[in-house]
Every structure is written in structure tokens, then in C-alpha cells.
Structure 1
Amino acid sequence: MPSARRSLSTSVGDFFAIDDDWERPTAPISRRDWVVGVGLSLVAVLLLELGRSVTEIQAGGQPHWVQWAATVSGAMLMVWRRQHPILVGCLAAAHMFIVGVTMPMIMGQLALQAVYFVAIYAAVAYARHRRSALLVVAGITVFMLLWVGWQLALGGGIAEITEDARADGADGWFSPTVGAVATMLAINLVYFVGAILVGQIAWRGARQRARLEDQASTITAQAEDLKRRAVVDERLRIARELHDVVGHHVAVIGIQAGAARRVLDKRPAEAAKALGQIEESSRDAVSQMRSLLGTLRDIEATAELDGLTDDAAATSRSPEPTLADLADLVAERDAAGMHTAYHVVENRQGAHTSVAPSIGLTLYRIAQEALANITRHSTATTTDVFTRVIDANGSGQAYAEIEVLDNGRPRSGTSGSGLGQLGMRERAASHKGTVDIGPRPMGGYRVRVRIPLGENDV
């Protein structure tokens, strides 16, 4: 259905932005404003004297200094045209009327005509309130046009024009009276309306520039906020990594130390093997902690880049573990004395090695934290770790899942802070995953996390 045609009044109101509440900022009076005022005054006096040198200027019998004062007073209004545009517009209109009545040839000088034009332009372009500005300049325009008509009708202007036309033998389409009146009204209408239109165009341009500057400032602020959020997110990620690394290795060290203590006197060889594993686990923990802390120190420098990404941050760290490394983690725990079995369920051979590194790291850390929690807080003797990866094959949603099951009960006096499980949930939430953590109906405890896979995650 075609849209309704807009009325003329609506179109005019939209062009002049009658209801726009934007206010053009007011700049203080600068040296440039004084240069414009003084320079224009000198030019106006110079043009007046140049004109006097060519022809006689009728100024109502006023002396030269009065003519100069009238010229300079009009030109100096330009100093305040941007700070007080409405006032300057009204003063310029009054100046035009008074000088036009007393010294019409002075008012008609090129410099003063330029001053009046700029004053009306400035009243529209720099005024803070659109409605009041347009009412003032419209009133000035109507008053000036009525004044011109009055001069033509009652001031003897038409009679003089008619006599001059007959003396010159004018033979145009129209009578001298019609030609004179139409020409004078057209010139003045173009003069005043042109100043208003040019001023409004300048105001709209200033408003557009201000909006673009505001948008640029908003974009810059949002970019800075995103950088700060990226830094915070990276720090939280490192905190989770540190928690998982320390928790895992401390749990392994505790198991090995307990085993070494029990067999130290009877089976020294097994005790030495356990101590060796403690040494290896502690070195691995220290190495990973140094890598994470190094990244934490460099994070501010990294954040100065155009967007902090995991790939950029990874340049300062050792390779992160993936799902393919989960078998080694389970084997390490099994060697430490906890009977731990690892199971891989996938719809095609090697699917778990093709999971995106970020998702693989998330599932690896969740399994690591779950195993550490079993060591610290459970009486379990056996643990099963399942990795399930189902690629997109048209039969259902693709996903990667980690599940850790044990046969124990909560150990008394070992309640944790809850940060470990909170970290699991946060890791899963970052990939829109689902989490199932809690005791099983048949005994034992379950940690299961499933993360959906998209086209870029495999």
C-alpha cells in the first residue's frame, strides 16, 4: 500500500528541525571573531570611500564620521554572531532599517549587505533553539519585505522608476511599475530566504557532525570496555587453569606420599618409585604454574592489541592439553594408586581428536578437576572416565561429552569451597554446555558435561 503523502507543513518542519532538541555548542569569542569584525570594518570603510571617489553618495546630509560610524557599527556585529546569534540578527535588522531610512545609499553598500546576510544566516545556523530562531528570522524577513513594499508604494520609488524607464525608452513585456515592483521583491526575497536556507543547511551539517562524533566516542568507549572485559575474562580463565593444575598435582602428590609412607620400611623400591612420581608431578606443576603466571604478567601488554584472543594469548604459553591428552591424565591417576579406567565412545574412529582445541581444553580441565575432587573429598576406590564424541551425521545433534563416575561417598571433614564445581559450570557455560553434577542413586558420584558441536568445533 503506498505511503500517504506528507503535507507541506510537515516537510518544512522536518527540514527546519522544529522539534529537534539538539543544541549547537557555543564557542567562546576568539581572536578570529575580532579579526573578522575589525577586518570587515576596515574593508567596509575602504569600499565606502572608493565608491565616494567614483560617484556622489547621498547620505541625508550626514557628515562622513556618521557614515563611518554606521558602517563600522554594522560590521562589528560579526564579532558576536556565533555567541549571540538571535540578538545579532535582531540588531542587524534594526541597523538595516535605521540606516536605510536615514542613509539609504550607505545601507546599500556591498559590505553592509554582506553583514546583514551573514547576520540572518548566523541567527539560523548558530541559534540553540530552532523554533525561536526561525520565528525571529521569519519575522525579520516579513518586516523587511513590507518595508520594501512601503518604500515603493509611498516613498516615491515607483514614480522615479517609471520616469527613468520612459526617459530610457524601455519597451519590455511589462509596464515599468510591474517590472520594478516584481524585480525588487524577487531580489529581496532571494536575499533573505537564501540566508535562512543556507543557515539551516549549515546547522544540519553541524548536527550531523556532532552525531558522528558521539557515535565515534561511543564506539571507542565500547571498544575500551571490550578490551577490559577481555582482560578480566582472560584472568578468570587463568585462575581456573591455576586452580585445576594445582588441585590435580597436589592430589596426585598426596596419593603418592601416602603410598610411599606405607611401604617405606617394607618395600623401599616401591617407596622410591612413589617418591620419583612425586618429584615428576611437582616439577610438572611448577612448570605449568610458571607458564600461567607468566601469561598473567603479560596480560596487560597483550590487551593493548586489537582484541585479546585465545590464539594471541597462547603464544606466551605452552601447548594446552586437549581430549587426546585425557588418556595420559587417567593413566597418571591410575599409576598413583587410584583404580581409574578410561573409555572412549565415538561414532567414528578418532572423532575425539578432531574436537576444537578450546572445547577439548574445557572438557580436559573439567575431568582433571573431577578427578582431583575425588582424591580430596571421596572414599572412592575406582573411577571411570568416559569421553563421548558424536559428529554431526544427520541423525541428531553433534556433541562432545565427558563423564566421571566413582563408587565412593563424601569423606567427612573434607568439604571444599565449591570453587571447583563453580569453575566446571563456568567452563561449560562458556560453550553453552549442560552440566550434571551430584550423587548417583545407586551410590557414588557423577560429573557429566555435554557441549554441543557446531561446524567449526570439529
Structure 2
Amino acid sequence: MPSARRSLSSTVGDFFAVDDDWERPAPPIGPLDWAVGVLLSVTGLLLLEMMRSVVDIDAGGQSHWVQWVAIVSGAMLMVWRRQHPVAVGCAAAAHMFVVGVTMPQVMGQVALQIVYFVAIYAAVAYARHRRSALLIVAGITVFMLLWVAWQLALGDGLAELTQDAVDEGADGWFSPIVAAVVTSLAVNVFYFVGAILVGQVAWRGARQRARLEEQATTISAQSDSLQRRAIVDERLRIARELHDVVGHHVSVIGIQAGAARRVLDKRPEDAAAALGQIEASSREAVTQMRSLLGTLRDIETSGEEPARDPGVEKSPAAHRGPEPTLADLPDLVAARDSGGLRTAYRLVESHDGAHANVAPRIGLTLYRVAQEALANVTRHSTATVADVVTRVVDDGPGRAYAEVEIVDNGRPRAGTSGSGLGQLGMRERAASLHGTVEIGPRPTGGYRVRVRVPLGESDVRA
């Protein structure tokens, strides 16, 4: 359906932006403003005296110094054209009228004509309030055109023009009166309307530049905000990693230490094996913590020059190992299978090798969930059995997911309530991947933790 045609008043109002509240900032008066005023004054005086050397100037009987004052006073209005545009426009219109009535040929000098044009242009281009400025400029224009029409109708201007045409034997298509009136009005209309249009175009250009600057400032602020948010999110991720790593390995160390203590006298070889497990778990914990702390250090020192001291570590990345994936879950579960807790691991996938194609970030999330859930079983549950099941289904768009489920047969152990940060970390990890979380006791007894993450095309490696 074709759009309705807009009215002329709406089009004009949009062009002149009468409803725009933006105020163009006025620059302070500087050397350039004074230079413009002085240059126009000197140029106007020189041109006036040059013309006086050629023809007799009709100055209404005014002395030379009065004519000079008229030139200089008009030219110096340009100094304040940007700071007080509307006031200068009104002053220029009054100057034009007074000088035009008393010294018509002085008013017609090129320098003063430039002054009047620029004054009207500036009143539109630099005005703070659009509607009031345009009303004042339109009033000035109408007044000037009426004054020109009055001069032609009742003054001597039309008689002089027609007399010159008769004396020179003009033989054009139109009568001297019609030609003189139309030509004079057209020149003045183009003069005043042209100044208004050029001023409005300049104002619109300044408005567009201001919008672009605002957009650039907004984009810069949003970029800084996003950068800060990314740093905060990364710190939260590292905090969750540290919580999971420390909780898991400390739990393993506690279990193995208890086992070693019980069999130290009767079965020294079993105690030695438990101590070896403690040693390996502590080393792995230190390695993972160093990697995470190195990442945190990278966040703090991003953008800084790396250390140049040969004795100082240049980059913590050199000591970081690969992040755990779904392939590491069997070892994680096996490390918990000791003492009073028996653990089992099972992998269910829609086709062989599907778990190996899951994106690392999803594999790491499911690994950490299982790690935290097993640590919670050790610390807060009476469970003697814990089963971990990983499921990877890749049956096409909308039917692909990866999940990990940890189920035990215990009840909450009295006096071991945690801070809740572990479960909060699980939910945050799942939420970051648009996953779902199920945490709570089972109707048949025991406790279940299940996290499912949907798989998109970008979440499955080729």
C-alpha cells in the first residue's frame, strides 16, 4: 500500500528541524573571529574609497567618517556571529535598513552585502533554538522584502531604473517597469532565502556530526562496559574452577589419607599406594591451580609489557596444561573409588566416538559438574555408591545434547552443610551454555545431579 503523501508544512518542518531540541554549542570568541571583523572592515573601507574615486557615491549628504563608521560597525558584527547568532542577525537587519535609508550606495557595498548575508546565515546555522530562530529570521526576510517592494513602488528606485533604460534605448521583450520589479525582487529573494537555506544545511551537517560523536561515545562506553563484563565473567569462571579443583582434590586427599591411616600398620603396601595417590592428586591440584592463577594474572596484566627479567616467568601459559574434557571423566570417577565410596562410570552415546566430537567448552563444563558433584558426595553424604553416566546424543538439529548424571544412594550427613557455592557454580555453568539443571533428592532415595547442554552445529567439532 503506497504511503500517504506528506503535507508541505510537515516537509518544511522536518527540513528545518523545528521540533529538534539539540542546541549547537557555541565556540568561544577567538582570534579568527576578530580577524574576520577587521578584514571585512579594512576591505569595506578600501572598496568604498575605490568606488568614490570612480563615481559620486550617494551617501545622503553624510560625511566620510559617518560612512566609514557604517562600514566598520557592520563588519565588526561578524565577531559575535557564532556566539550570539540571533542578536547579530537582528542587528544586521537593523543596520541594513538604517544605512539603506540614509546611505543607499554605502549599504550596497560588497563588504556590507557579505556581512548581511553571513549574519542571516549564522542566525540559522548557529541558533540555539530552532523554532524561535527561524521565526525571527523569517520575520527579518519578510520585512526586508516588503521594504524593497516599498522602495520600488513609492521610492525613487524604480524611477531611476526605468529612466536608465529609456536613456540607453533598451528594447527587450518586457517593459522596463516589469523587468525592474521582477529582477529586483528575484535578486533579493535569492539573497535572503539563499542565506537561510545555506545556514540550515550547515546546521544539519553540525547536527549529523554531533549524532556521530554521540554514537561513537556510546559505542566506546558500551565497549568498555562489555570488556569489564567479560573480565568479571572470566573471574567468576576462574572462581568456579578453583572451587571445583580445590574441592575435588582436597576430598580425594582426605579419603586417601584416611585409608592410609587405617592400613598403615597392617598393610604398608596399601598405605604406600594411598600416599602415592595423595601425592599425585596434590600435584595435579597444584598444576591446575597454577594454570587458573596464570589466567587470572593474564586478565590483570592484559595490555602490559611482559617481564623482561630473565629470572621472571614471561608467560604463565607455558605451565598450563590442556583443560579436562569428557574423555577425562573415567579417570575422575576412578579416583573416587576407594574407602567407603564405590564409584562407577558409564558412557552412552548415539554413535561410537560421539563424545570426542563435543566442543571443549561443553566437555569442560560437564567434567566440572561431575567433579563438584562427587566432591559433594564425599563431603556431605552418607552414600556408599555413586554412579556417573555421560550421555551424548547427536541425532541432528534440535535433538542433539550432552549431559552428565551423578546418582548416589546416600542421605545428607548431619553437620556438613556447605556454602551452596558448588551448586550455584553448576547452575551458572549450565546457564552460560543454555543448559538445564536438575539437583535434588530422588523419590526412591539417594541424590541426583543432572546437567544437560544442547548441542548446536558450532558445539560439535568436525
Corresponding residue of 1:96: 96
For residues 103 and 339 of structure 2, what CA distance do their matches in structure 1 show? 110
CA offset digits 1:404-434 (Å, max 9, x no partner)? 1111111111110010001001101111111
Conserved in 2, the CA contact under 8 Å of 1:339 and 1:381? yes
Conserved in 2, the CA contact under 8 Å of 1:227 and 1:303? no
- Secondary structure, in 3 states, of the residue corresponding to 2:336? helix
Conserved in 2, the CA contact under 8 Å of 1:230 and 1:303? no
Corresponding residue of 1:437: 439
CA offset digits 1:74-97 (Å, max 9, x no partner)? 000001001111100000000001
- Secondary structure, in 3 states, of the residue corresponding to 2:46? helix
- Secondary structure, in 3 states, of the residue corresponding to 2:337? helix
Amino acid at match of 1:65: W
Corresponding residue of 1:70: 70
Q: Work out the percentage of aligned pairs sharing the same amino acid.
A: 77
**TM-score, length basis structure 2:** 0.94
For residues 303 and 325 of structure 1, what CA distance do their matches in structure 2 show? 34
Amino acid at match of 1:211: R
- Secondary structure, in 3 states, of the residue corresponding to 2:21? coil
- The 1:153/1:316 distance shift into structure 2, 3 A limit, reads farther
Corresponding residue of 1:54: 54
Is the counterpart of residue 329 in structure 1 residue 332 in structure 2?
A: yes
Corresponding residue of 1:158: 158
How many residue pairs match? The answer is 450
Conserved in 2, the CA contact under 8 Å of 1:323 and 1:363? yes
For residues 76 and 314 of structure 1, what CA distance do their matches in structure 2 show? 69
**TM-score, length basis structure 1:** 0.95
For residues 422 and 444 of structure 1, what CA distance do their matches in structure 2 show? 20
For residues 6 and 334 of structure 1, what CA distance do their matches in structure 2 show? 79
Q: 1:374: Cα distance to partner? A: 0.6
Corresponding residue of 1:339: 342
Corresponding residue of 1:184: 184
Is the counterpart of residue 378 in structure 1 residue 381 in structure 2?
A: yes
Corresponding residue of 1:457: 459
Corresponding residue of 2:424: 422
CA offset digits 1:144-198 (Å, max 9, x no partner)? 1111111112212222222221111111111111111111001001000000000
Corresponding residue of 1:309: none
Corresponding residue of 1:307: none
CA offset digits 1:233-264 (Å, max 9, x no partner)? 00000000000000000000000000011011
Conserved in 1, the CA contact under 8 Å of 2:287 and 2:320? no
Q: CA RMSD in A?
A: 1.7
Q: 1:283: Cα distance to partner? A: 1.3
Q: Which of the numbers 401, 404, 411 marks the counterpart of 1:402? A: 404
For residues 135 and 53 of structure 1, what CA distance do their matches in structure 2 show? 42
- Secondary structure, in 3 states, of the residue corresponding to 1:405? strand
Q: 1:122: Cα distance to partner? A: 0.4
For residues 108 and 318 of structure 2, what CA distance do their matches in structure 1 show? 76
Instruction: Point out where structure 1 has 5 or more consecutive residues left out of the alignment.
Output: 305-312
- Secondary structure, in 3 states, of the residue corresponding to 1:342? strand
- Secondary structure, in 3 states, of the residue corresponding to 2:343? strand
Counterpart mapping for 1:108-127 below 5 A: 108-127=108-127
Conserved in 1, the CA contact under 8 Å of 2:290 and 2:320? no
Q: 1:300: Cα distance to partner? A: 3.0
For residues 374 and 161 of structure 2, what CA distance do their matches in structure 1 show? 108
For residues 185 and 266 of structure 1, what CA distance do their matches in structure 2 show? 121
Conserved in 2, the CA contact under 8 Å of 1:321 and 1:360? yes
- Secondary structure, in 3 states, of the residue corresponding to 1:298? helix
Is the counterpart of residue 242 in structure 1 residue 242 in structure 2?
A: yes
